[in-house]
């Protein structure tokens, strides 16, 4: 088997309307489809599916599984993005901080899913990684 690239993420959410607002208005993802209990949003060449799960279980920190979801952002737009997070009172959990060559800020979506905005790519990160 040879996996050729990243395709999509599916994120369970408590309230589709609230999460859809966050991912479109705050993060700027584009809605491709909205159903009664799901929505598909595009960013770059990948996409996110939000699925409303009324029985949603709270995320557990330091557990096995996905730690966070990181989005690329141009460094020229990074400071503005951090201000937008602050304007919307989005909980920032770390940063903004310089990580290797790039800048990062970690924050939470409405359900506590840990997200990150990061300005560098893998090659740049590895050039200074120890």
First vs last Cα of the chain: how many Å apart?
A: 30
Active site residue 42: no
**Nearest CA-CA partner of 71 in 19, 6, 119:** 119
Residues facing 92 on adjacent strands: 107
pLDDT single digits (tens) 78-87: 999 999 999 9
pLDDT score of 91: 96
N residues, the chain: 130
Domains in the chain (CATH in brackets) are 7-53 (3.10.180.10), 66-130 (3.10.180.10)
Separation of alpha carbons 103 and 95, rounded Å: 9
Q: What angle do CA 70, 72, 76 make, to 5 degrees?
A: 135
Question: Cα-flanking dihedrals φ and ψ of residue 20, to 5°?
Answer: -60, -40
Separation of alpha carbons 78 and 29, rounded Å: 16
* Percentage of residues in the chain having pLDDT higher than 90: 55
Separation of alpha carbons 87 and 65, rounded Å: 30
Q: Point out the catalytic residue in the list 55, 58, 75, 116.
A: 116
Show pLDDT as tens, one digit a residue, over the chain (130 residues): 876 777 788 898 989 999 999 999 999 999 999 999 999 999 888 889 999 987 765 666 666 667 789 999 999 999 999 999 999 999 999 999 988 788 999 999 998 899 999 998 778 877 777 6
């Amino acid at each position: 088997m040879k996996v050729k690239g990243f395709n999509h993420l599916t994120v369970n959410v408590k309230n589709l309307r609230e999460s859809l607002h966050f991912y479109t208005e705050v993060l700027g993802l584009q809605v491709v489809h909205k159903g009664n209990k799901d929505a598909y949003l595009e960013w770059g060449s990948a996409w996110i599916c939000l699925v409303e799960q009324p029985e949603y279980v709270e995320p557990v920190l330091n557990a096995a599984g996905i730690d966070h979801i990181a989005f690329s952002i141009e460094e020229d737009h990074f400071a503005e993005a951090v201000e937008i997070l602050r304007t919307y009172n989005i909980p920032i959990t770390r940063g903004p901080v310089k990580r290797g060559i790039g800048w990062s800020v970690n924050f939470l979506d409405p359900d506590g899913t840990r997200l990150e905005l990061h300005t560098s790519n893998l090659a740049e990160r590895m050039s200074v990684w120890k």
